[in-house]
Amino acid sequence: MEERIYFDYAATTPLDKRVLDKMTPYLTDCFGNADSPHAYGRKAMGAVDEARSIVARLIHANENEIYFTSGGTEADNWALIGGARAKRKEGRDEIVLSAIEHHAVLSAAERLEKEGFAVRYLPVNAGGMVEIGEIEKAVSDKTAIVALMAANNETGVLQPIAYAEKIAHKHGALFFTDAVQYAPYKKIDVKEMNADMLAFSGHKFYGPKGVGVLYIKNGVKVEKLIGGGEQERGLRGGTLNVAAIVGLAKAYELACLEMDENGKKLSALASSFIDKLASVGGITRNGAGDNALPSVVNVRIQGVENTTFLFNMDLQGVCLAAGSACASASVKPSHVLTAMGLDEKRAKESVRFSFGKYTTEEEIERGAACAKKIINKLRG
C-alpha cells in the first residue's frame, strides 16, 4: 500500500523533531521535581522558568500570568468554572457562550448550570460565525463570564472576539477565549485582545499532548480547579510536567516563527484540494472560507453518509474526521453544523479535512483523487 495520508491535523499533530530533542533531557537525566529545593529540582525549575518566559514573551503577557495545565480541556474547564464561581461573589449568576464551543467549554457550562447558573448560548449564522448583535442581546449586568472561541475546530471559522471582549467588559463580566485552534495560525497578543483568560494546547502545534496554557490576566480573580501542592502560584496543584512544558514552549516558538510561511502554504494547499474535490459535484463548503483558518476544509458531500465515507477512506489509507475527535464516538450530528442550520441529514453528510505543515502537494492530489473515487462508488 502507498503511504498513509494524515488529514486530521485539527485533532492533533505529530511532534516536531526539534521539540523532541529539546524535551529528551527532561525525560532522562534532568528528571527532578521542579519544586525540590536541591540541584535536581533547581535544574528542572530553571527549564520551566525559561519555558514560561518564552510563552509570556510570545503572547505579550507577564510570566506570572502563565499557568501550565494538562491541556486545552483543563484550561477551558478552569477558565469557565473558576471564573464563573469567582464572579458569583458579585451576585452574577449567568454565563454566556457560543453554541459552537468545544465540548470542554460546553461540559463546563453544563456543570455550572447544575450549580444554578443560567446559561445563554450565542447562535451562529449559516457561515458559522456568531453575529455581534447576538452578543449584545445575551450579555447583561448579571453575566459572570463570556466565552467565545477564537477559531472553531470543526469549520476553522474565526469568531468576533474583539467585539465580545468589549461587550463583556462594558457589563463588568470576564472575557475568556479558547484559542486552541487559533494559536498555530494567528499571533496571540493578550494586550491587544484584552482577554481576562485565554487557553491553548501544545499538541495542536507539533508539541506534546497533555500540556496546555491558561493565561490569566493579573488582577483577575479565578477560583482554582485542581487543589494540591502550591505549584503555579498556589492555583494549580500537581507536579509540573517539565518535559511537556519545555516542549510546548519550543513548539510554540517554532509555530510563531514559521506561522506566515505555514499559513501561506496551507491556504494554497487547501484551495487546491477544494477545487479538485469539487469537480466530483455535489460538494458544499461548511463555513465561510475567507474568514477562517487556512488549515480546515469542512464540506458536505451530498448523498454520502460521513461514517461510511470515513471508513472507506481509512481503508484506502486516508485519515480524516467527521468533526471533533472528542465527539467521534457519538452518533449525534455535529453540534457546530446543526447550530449553523444544517439538518441532521446534511450534518451527517459532512466531513472535516484538516491539513498541516507536513502536508504535501502529492498528498493533496492523491487524497482528493481517492475521495472522488469513493464518493462516486458510494453514490453508485
Ligand X SMILES: *Cc1c(COP(=O)(O)O)cnc(C)c1O
Catalytic annotation, residues: 326
- Measured in whole angstroms, how far is the alpha carbon of residue 134 from the centre of its chain? 23
Q: Please, which residue, 147 or 304, has the CB nearer to ligand X?
A: 147
* Residue 293 CB burial class (10 angstroms; 0-12, 13-18, ≥19): buried
CB of 236 to ligand X, least distance (A): 15
Q: Are 94 and 144 in contact (CB under 8 A)?
A: yes
Name which of 51, 69, 78 is nearest 145 in CA terms: 78
Closest approach of Cβ 178 to ligand X, in Å? Answer: 5
Q: Which is nearer to ligand X, 73 or 143 (CB)?
A: 73
**Long-range contacts for 124-128 (Cβ within 8 Å, ≥24 apart)?**
124/98, 124/99, 124/100, 124/339, 124/340, 125/340, 126/340, 126/341, 127/157, 127/287, 127/288, 127/291, 127/340, 128/100, 128/152, 128/155, 128/157, 128/286, 128/287, 128/288, 128/292, 128/336, 128/340
* Cβ 89 to ligand X shortest distance, Å: 27
Span from 84-92, 159-167, 176-184, 357-365 in contact with ligand X (CB under 6 A):
176-184
- Give 6's strand partners: 319
- Of residues 304 and 337, the one with the C-beta less far from ligand X: 337
- Residue 72 CB, shortest distance to ligand X, in Å, is 2
Q: Tally helices (H) and strands (E) across the chain.
A: 14, 12
The smaller minimum CB distance to ligand X, of residues 32 and 71, is found at 71
The site that binds ligand X (CB under 6 A) totals a number of residues, namely: 15
User: Residue 71 Cβ, how far from ligand X at the closest point, in Å?
Assistant: 3
Give the three cell numbers for residue 264.
Answer: 501561506
DSSP letters along 91-130, please?
T--EEEEETT--HHHHHHHHHHHHTT-EEEEEPB-TTS-B
Burial class (CB in 10 A: 0-12, 13-18, 19+), 326: middle
Which parts of 181-200 interact with ligand X (CB under 6 A)?
181
User: Per-residue string for binding with ligand X, 78-117, x by CB under 6 A?
Assistant: ------------------------x-x-------------
Nearest-approach distance from CB 306 to ligand X, in angstroms? 19
What is the rounded end-to-end Cα distance, in angstroms, of the chain? 25
> What single-letter amino acid sits at 67?
Y
C-alpha cell at 366: 492523491
357: contact with ligand X by CB under 6 A: no
CB 198 within 8 A of CB 182: no
Which residue spans within 310-368 are E strands per DSSP? Answer: 318-319, 350-354
Between 142 and 209, name the residue whose CB sits nearer to ligand X.
209
Residue 296 CB, nearest approach to ligand X (Å): 10
Segment 24 to 83, residues that bind ligand X, using CB under 6 A: 71-73, 76
By CB under 6 A, tell whether 153 contacts ligand X: yes
Are residues 337 and 286 in contact, defined by beta-carbon separation less than 8 angstroms?
A: yes
Residue 318 lies near ligand X (rule: CB under 6 A): no
The only residue of 112, 180, 277, 322 in contact with ligand X, by rule CB under 6 A: 180
134 is a site residue for ligand X (CB under 6 A) = no
Look-up: residue for cell 511532534? 15
Q: Does 178 bind ligand X (CB under 6 A)?
A: yes
Report the nearest approach of ligand X to the CB of residue 293 (Å): 11
Q: Please, which residue, 92 or 102, has the CB nearer to ligand X?
A: 102
Closest-by-Cβ residue to ligand X is: 72
x-or-dash string of contact with ligand X, 197-236, rule CB under 6 A: ----x-xx-------x------------------------
CA distance linking residue 188 with residue 108, whole number of Å? 24
Q: Does 300 bind ligand X (CB under 6 A)?
A: no
Nearer CB in complex with ligand X: 104/222: 104
363 binds ligand X (CB under 6 A): no
Residue from 48, 149, 256, 347 touching ligand X (CB under 6 A): that is 149
Task: List interacting residues with ligand X (CB under 6 A).
Answer: 71-73, 76, 102, 104, 149, 153, 178, 180-181, 201, 203-204, 212
